Every structure is written in C-alpha cells, then in structure tokens.
C-alpha cells in the first residue's frame, strides 16, 4: 500500500500562505466549525476499493475545511477490523517517531494533521492485508459514538463551535443485514446528535462490480433524515473530491453563516417552464441559498434483530424496543438487552405465532388445490381416464 503516499504534490501548498493576513483568517471565528470525519476503512478493504484515491480526496477535504478558518477543528476516526475504533487525529502517538510524508513547503498546520493521519492509516493498512480479512460486522455505530463523545467534550470548552459529522462508508452488499445488530446503537447516536444539534452526513461509495441495485443503508438514511443531514451515494471514486467540496463543504460554510434578512435572490431559474416574470424572493432560510441533494425515499422500516431482514409486523421488547420477526422455541430472554420475558405473555405470543403459521400453510394448500383443479379441467396429454 505504499502507493497511497505517492504524488505528494497534491498535499503541497505554497509557503506564501504563512503571509496571509491574520485578521482575514479570524473573520469567521464566531462561526468556527468542528468536522468529525469517520472512515469505514474495513469495508473499503473488504471490497478492494481504490483506497489510494479515497485517502487523497479525504486529505484534500480536511485541508479545505481547515483553510476556511483558523479556528476550525477536525477529528478523524477510522473503523478498523482488528483494533476497532481508532482516532487518527488527534492522537497520542510520539511525533518524533512519525515519518514525514509532506513537502517542506506545506503549510505547517496542514502538515501536522495530514502526517498524523497518514502515519496512522499506513500502519493500519499494513496490518490489515485484504487476503486475511473476513467479512465481519462493521462497527460503524461505535465510531459514531466516539465522535459524538469528542463533540460533547469540545463543546464544553467552546460554546460557539458548531459540529458536523461526515461518515464515509464503502459498504454495498447486504447493508441492512450487516447493520441490523447496530440498530439500537445507531438510534442512540441519532438521539444524541439531535440533542447536540449535530447533523450527520453520509457519503456512501458503491461497488458497481457487485451489481446490487438495492444497496442503500436504511439506518444511515434515517440518521441523516432525523438530524437534517445529507445522504449521498456515488459510484465513482474519481469524482469523490467534487462531491466532498460542493455537497458537504459548501453546505457547512453556508449553514454556519448568519443570514442577511435583506438579501434577495432571483427565482427566474425556478420558473423556466412558467410564464412568470422574474421576481426577487427574500431569503428566509439557508435552503433558499443552496439546494442540497435530498433522499426522496427513506426506508423507515425496521429490521429483525435475529435475521436482519426488513419486517412489517414483528415482536417488540418493551425494554429496549428491539424488533424480532419470530419467537424461537428456546427464547426466554431478550436477545439484545437480556431482559426476562413474562412466561404467560410469551406463551400467548408463541400460540399466536403458531396460528399465523398454520393459517399461512392452509392458505398455501388452498392455492395449490386451485391450481391443480384448473390444470385438471384443462386436461393433460399424459393423464388417463
């Protein structure tokens, strides 16, 4: 994976940036932003994605976030199969032992953060060879929880800081089944994000080689919808930097800026198909300035904790609210929280389940008999009378 650090000039900036006017850099201190970037590295390694291009785009996106304001902060977290959730930046590694990947002319703030992230990622990728990886369940909920914990700690120090979380994942096959065991942790992350007023954005990179069209992660879609975030799926890694800098970066800048109540915009583009004269519309919200990509169809259905399949009717634990599609014969406790079920209620539910299964079998037998009768009336050349 040495080619990840190639083309160092991508990260190089002219040293003249140090001569920028400090007053201009401090203009946005009141609207400083904290970016929590979560990289689901396990899925990228499993599906043999182009990690080199992905990491280069991520570094450029981080530098753009830091360049906008000197008071902006970033926290980068990676989801690793062997070590679990790890902080790429900030971390407690010895700086003297880190290898220098950046050019000497690179802005020092960029160099410190970029080298910290690249050193840590390089070690993780070397320890995780794709041939030795197994398709284990992704712990994306644990990484999100660590990010929210970091936000809570930082917000205690700076009240004016606005936080935003971006999850970059590459999972593309059986997303709902793999993530079903994390339904409750992800829901807890959603509630915490709402309390912290932290939108959750998701950039999902699909693997087109799998040929699976229904790859949307319903849990992450629900997270973005509930926290007023953005859920975006892309099929090409080559255009990743364009999505990052336009959809997610510009949206962060605009939403962190106060609105001028006297600002008006021309809505002539919205009336191209109508015989309406150009009129100016008063800007009331941030959505009037930037049209964000929206997920028109969000799957709000839940999935079975045992099978991972989407269910319309199921059994709910009254303690942790986990949903299961059927009751196993040996089930006595909740498979999620371990709460003991009431024996009488459990017997009633099992009896109801047996009735439903028998009704399904009866209905299947009736349909089969009708089909056989219709075929018998039409006659068969092999049938003897």
CATH of the domain at 219: 3.40.50.410
Gap between the Cα atoms of 168 and 234, Å rounded: 11
Q: Which residues are bridge partners to 39 per DSSP?
A: 78, 168
Residues 138 and 232 grouped into a single domain: yes
Gap between the Cα atoms of 130 and 113, Å rounded: 27
In a domain, 195, yes or no: yes
Residues 126 and 44 grouped into a single domain: yes
In a domain, 104, yes or no: yes
Beta-carbon contacts of 251 under 8 Å, excluding residues fewer than 6 positions away, are 230, 290, 292
In a domain, 295, yes or no: no
Residues 23 and 137 grouped into a single domain: yes
Residues 226 and 314 grouped into a single domain: no
How many domains does the structure of the chain reveal?
Answer: 2
Residues 12 and 95 grouped into a single domain: yes
What does pTM read for this prediction?
Answer: 0.70
In a domain, 283, yes or no: no
- Residue reference for tokens 């790429």: 88
Residues 230 and 88 grouped into a single domain: yes
Q: Given this model, what pLDDT does residue 202 score?
A: 92
Residues 15 and 105 grouped into a single domain: yes
Residues 67 and 185 grouped into a single domain: yes
Q: At which of 255, 288, 316 does a domain end?
A: 255
Q: At which of 196, 221, 255 does a domain end?
A: 255
Q: State both tokens at 1.
A: 């994976």
Gap between the Cα atoms of 381 and 378, Å rounded: 10
How open is the CA angle 104-14-50, to the nearest 5 degrees? 75
Q: Per-residue confidence of the chain (385 residues) as pLDDT tens digits?
A: 444 444 444 334 333 333 333 333 333 356 688 999 999 887 776 655 678 888 889 999 999 888 888 888 999 999 877 778 889 988 776 454 455 555 556 667 787 888 888 888 888 887 776 545 555 566 888 999 999 999 999 988 876 788 999 999 886 555 544 556 677 788 899 999 999 999 999 998 886 655 555 456 678 888 898 998 889 888 888 888 888 888 887 766 655 555 445 555 444 444 444 444 455 544 454 455 566 666 557 777 777 888 777 777 788 888 888 888 888 878 888 888 888 888 888 888 888 788 777 776 666 555 655 655 665 554 444 443 3
- Residue reference for tokens 């709902």: 176
In a domain, 58, yes or no: yes
In a domain, 25, yes or no: yes
User: Domain range holding 334?
Assistant: 303-361
Residues 344 and 245 grouped into a single domain: no
Residues 251 and 315 grouped into a single domain: no
Beta-carbon contacts of 384 under 8 Å, excluding residues fewer than 6 positions away, are none
Beta-carbon contacts of 56 under 8 Å, excluding residues fewer than 6 positions away, are 4, 7, 10
Q: State both tokens at 237.
A: 């890694």
Residues 171 and 235 grouped into a single domain: yes
Residues 206 and 134 grouped into a single domain: yes
């Amino acid at each position: 994976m040495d080619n990840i650090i190639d083309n160092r000039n991508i990260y190089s900036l002219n040293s003249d940036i140090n001569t920028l006017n400090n007053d201009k850099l401090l203009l946005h201190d009141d609207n400083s932003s904290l970016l929590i970037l979560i990289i689901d590295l396990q899925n990228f390694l499993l599906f043999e994605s182009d990690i080199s291009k992905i990491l280069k785009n991520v570094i450029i996106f981080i530098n753009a976030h830091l360049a906008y304001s000197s008071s902006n902060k970033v926290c980068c977290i990676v989801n690793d199969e062997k070590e679990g959730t790890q902080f790429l930046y900030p971390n407690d590694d010895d700086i003297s032992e880190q290898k220098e990947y950046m050019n000497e002319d690179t802005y020092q703030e960029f160099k410190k953060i970029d080298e910290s992230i690249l050193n840590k990622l390089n070690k993780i990728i070397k320890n995780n060879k794709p041939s030795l990886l197994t398709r284990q369940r992704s712990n994306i909920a644990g990484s999100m929880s660590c990010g929210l914990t970091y936000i809570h700690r930082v917000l205690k120090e700076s009240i004016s800081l606005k936080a935003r979380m971006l999850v970059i994942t590459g999972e593309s096959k059986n997303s709902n089944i793999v993530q079903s065991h994390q339904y409750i942790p992800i829901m807890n992350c959603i509630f915490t994000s709402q309390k912290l007023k932290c939108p959750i954005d998701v950039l999902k990179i699909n693997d087109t080689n799998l040929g699976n069209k229904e790859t949307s992660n319903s849990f992450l879609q629900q997270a973005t919808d509930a926290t007023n975030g953005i859920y975006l799926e892309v099929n090409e890694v080559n255009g990743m930097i364009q999505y990052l800098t336009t959809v997610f970066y510009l949206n962060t800048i605009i939403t962190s800026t106060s609105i001028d109540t006297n600002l008006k915009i021309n809505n002539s583009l919205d009336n191209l198909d109508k015989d309406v004269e150009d009129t100016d519309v008063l800007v009331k919200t941030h959505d009037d300035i930037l049209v964000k990509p929206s997920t028109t169809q969000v799957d709000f259905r839940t999935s079975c904790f045992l099978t991972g399949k989407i269910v319309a009717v199921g059994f709910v634990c009254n303690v942790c609210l986990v949903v299961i599609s059927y009751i196993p014969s040996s089930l006595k406790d909740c498979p999620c929280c371990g709460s003991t079920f009431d024996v009488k209620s459990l017997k009633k539910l099992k009896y109801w389940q047996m009735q439903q299964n028998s009704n399904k079998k009866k209905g299947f037998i009736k349909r089969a008999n009708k089909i056989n009768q219709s075929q018998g009336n039409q006659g068969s050349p092999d049938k003897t009378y």
